[in-house]
Amino acid sequence: MKRQQSLEQLWNSAVAVGSAQSFEPTALSALPQAAQRYLKHAIASGTPLATSVRLQMHGEIKLQRWYPFSAEQVIHWSRGMIWQATVKMWNMTLRGSDCFLNNQGEMDWKFFGIFPVISARGPDITRSTAGRVNIESLWLPSVLSLAGVTWTSSEHNQLHARFSAHTEIAELDYVIGESGELKAVHMLRWGNPDKGNFRYVPFGALIEEEQTFGGYTIPTRVRVGWNFGTNHFDPEGEFFRATIDQAVYRG
């Protein structure tokens, strides 16, 4: 992977949103009713179907204890994502990024942007970050309206989506409200949260707030972690609490 690929370069490689096909709710008629409710809630009729999103966020991240962070992220669906953050730890600043580009994952973190703290790559990191990109389609719901996504629904407010992306077969489960608003999303993601062997572990997000940006209604306050849906999510598994401040879409 080209380690010097910048967030700005990734964003600039996305085409202008005006060139995209527009979202037509009538095209969803073959989907389960719950899937239609979710997608119609998430994407306004006539909205260009974006393939990229740029997010500004802040929140807390758990590194043994909770520390505040601010971050910027670009998800370019056909290429991957870059998440760049600054974490305030006492009187020190931890800066770094998590990336999935060119089908390879990488983590690179340094104190003051100089002294290395974490530098990780390899097949396990790639597989884990690929899963992260796939579950973060919650911020780019246009890709979930594509023909390659298979939707099933066993209950009124529960959905399952299956698709192939970023070298993985994604199997995502959603809980939605009566209006189609997203309440939770979870999956089995490759990882080793207990520092043991890598394997598939329940992973997910609770959605506490949402907001609309450019025709997309997306989660804007989330709690994220491993062992989702078990007694180990709270307090052990949860490690990320974020508020989305801004989202900009491109085709």
Cα 22 from Cα 237, distance rounded (Å): 39
**In the structure, what pLDDT confidence band is assigned to residue 137 with cuts at 50, 70 and 90?**
very high
- How sure is the predictor about 90, in pLDDT bands with cuts at 50, 70 and 90? confident
- Please determine, for residue 112, whether its predicted confidence score (pLDDT) is greater than 80: no
Mean pLDDT of 153-165: 95
Q: Read off φ and ψ for residue 129, nearest 5 degrees.
A: -70, -30
| 228 φ/ψ angles, rounded to the nearest 5 degrees | -65, 140
pLDDT of residue 2: 42
Question: Which residue ranges form the domains of the chain, and what is each CATH number?
Answer: 17-250 (2.50.20)
pLDDT digits (tens, 9 = 90+) for 15-69: 765 556 899 999 999 999 999 999 999 999 999 999 999 999 999 999 989 999 9
C-alpha 80/C-alpha 100 separation (Å) is 5
